[in-house]
Amino acid sequence: MKPTVNTQRQACLTCLEQSPPATFEAALWIAAEHEPGLVPTQCDEQLRELQLQISIGLPMLPVSELAQPLLRRLNALGFALDDFHPLRPQAALLNKVLERKRGQPLALALLALEMAKRLDIPLIGVNFPGHFLLRVPGADHQLDPCGGRRLYPADCRELLGRQFGPQVPLLAEHLAQASPQHMLQRLSRNLRQLHSSHQDDVAALKDAERVLVLGPPAAADYVARAGIYQRLECPRGERFDLEHALLLSDDPIQRLRLTTRLQELPALPSSLH
């Protein structure tokens, strides 16, 4: 029987419940929601071959010093930032990243974390805004998943400034460890944006729904799904999400905009008794 979106999503959630979580497999199940016929086990051979290619090229060092060589080895094997413009959803679909060797920083980081896990190399994800990063636990620097460059605090401030402007300060929360749920929720937000920008609202709706399932949603997540419902001409769904965004928002300007949008929606039909 062909897997449905519900069974694929449940498989994703089941992967996260394992100990330790099977984060990369969960990300492949996310890709399966958009790739008919994809089963994560189909990627096993590619992953084993990649693990072998990486291990052959690693230097003889303690495992605590192998994270940067791992990232450099991935880069030497062709894995790099996808700089195609406009960026396409395949930059965040893990099966496509394996196939094309191009992806967003988070997608490349998920692959690096899977290889590190298989090779017993300590490495964690860092939920840095705008550009996902990696870190060896206890290290005084971050690692760029796109090639392995070391980023010290000054480099992180510069990266943050390029993404959001020099007025945004670097905070401790920007360098916090990302849990598997955080990473997959962020991956789903990336896919939601990519599918929306390519006018594939049905696919974007799948991603928007998954964002809400994977962790506590922000007001912006409900606003994003409301926008998708608006384009799909589903005012009931749009109203539901705008009302939830209004409950979560503490920004007076956003609350005013949400209230105005709600007032502009057609009234729901009265129930018959």
CB 180 within 8 Å of CB 23:
yes
Q: Let me know how long the chain is.
A: 273
Predicted pLDDT at 122: 98
Give this prediction's pTM.
0.94
Predicted pLDDT at 1: 44
Contacts of 34 (CB under 8 A, 6+ apart): 89, 93, 191, 195, 203, 206
Q: List pLDDT tens digits, range 44-83.
A: 999 999 999 999 999 999 999 999 999 999 999 999 999 9
Both tokens of 72, joined, read 């450099």
Predicted pLDDT at 270: 59
The CA angle 144-145-151, to the nearest 5 degrees, is 10
Task: Write out residues in the chain with pLDDT < 50, as ranges.
Answer: 1, 273
Domains present along the chain, CATH in parentheses: 5-175 (no CATH), 180-264 (1.25.40.10)
